[in-house]
Amino acid sequence: MNAAAVRLAPWALLLPLVLTSPAAHAGRNCEQKPPSPEQIRSALDLAAKTARWLDSSGATLAVIARRGQNLDRYGVRYSHLGYVYRDEGAKAWRIVHKLNQCGTAESALYRQGLAEFFSDDLFDFEAGLVVPTLAVQDALRPLLQDNTRAATLHHKPYSMVAYPWAQRYQQSNQWALETLACAVEPSACERSRAQAWLQFKGYQPTTLNLSAGQRLGARVGSANVAFDDHPSARRFSDRIDTVTVDSVFAFLPRAGLAGAPQTVR
């Protein structure tokens, strides 16, 4: 299902309802097809289970991921992540994440409820969750609740396979990771500095093996895919480095920034 969303600026409160008008995707082309009753039930069920899990975790903020696409052939489980935090005023969980605007090479930040987050025509109804340390939660939560601060490192030009150590494009998971760097290290609130901090802390992107034919087909068929920010030596040897959820989930515990990944189904 394609969930409608409201941009962070101008501000609007988006209630956690399942809507049907398409607005944006996590790096996929627009597909306007109505959700089935089973998809709606599955999305609401996963949202309820995730809310219960979050309530019982004692956390006020977590990293949350979904399986929007089947990426098994690349050895990747989750396709998209964001940050979920407890909105004490509304007594509900809210998610802040970045989405690609349908059919374009641009993106925006969105604030959604759990049901909407899981209503985007998912490949599988499974949530991945990582609870950061208290220090990281305390640093991220006020940043994400403030529209201006949340957008500090947002870069509108989008590529689904943006190179992690360049600034020409920015994909959804990359925004989340760079924003983490800014929250934890205030001197890293500029993209090149955030990336330098991530390299210092040992973040390792996922390397996808994509042939020249695959790259050409992806580039011609999609406005939201570009490879010209990747180093030529790696690109022409069919190695495309990018930020995946799985690489973020591996990095956070390794760097002492969060606990182990958990699954909700």
Instruction: List pLDDT tens digits, range 136-190.
Output: 999 999 999 999 999 999 999 999 999 999 999 999 999 999 999 999 999 999 9
Q: Which helix (DSSP H) or strand (DSSP E) does residue 44 occupy?
A: helix 37-57
How does 26-44 read in b/e, with b if 16+ C-beta sit within 10 Å? bbbeeeeeebeeebbebbb
Examine the pLDDT at 23 and tell me if it is beyond 80: no
Query: What pTM did the predictor assign?
Result: 0.87
Residue 24 pairs in a beta bridge with 101
Closest-CA residue to 175 (of 197, 191, 186): 191
CA of residue 8 relative to chain centroid, distance: 15
Instruction: Please tell me the predicted confidence (pLDDT) of residue 31.
Output: 62
Longest Cα–Cα distance of the chain, Å, equals 52
Mean pLDDT for the chain? 87
Q: Which structure tokens are listed for 147? A: 């529209």
Residue 207: pLDDT band by 50, 70, 90 thresholds?
very high
Q: Three-state SS for 130?
A: strand
Examine the pLDDT at 4 and tell me if it is beyond 50: no
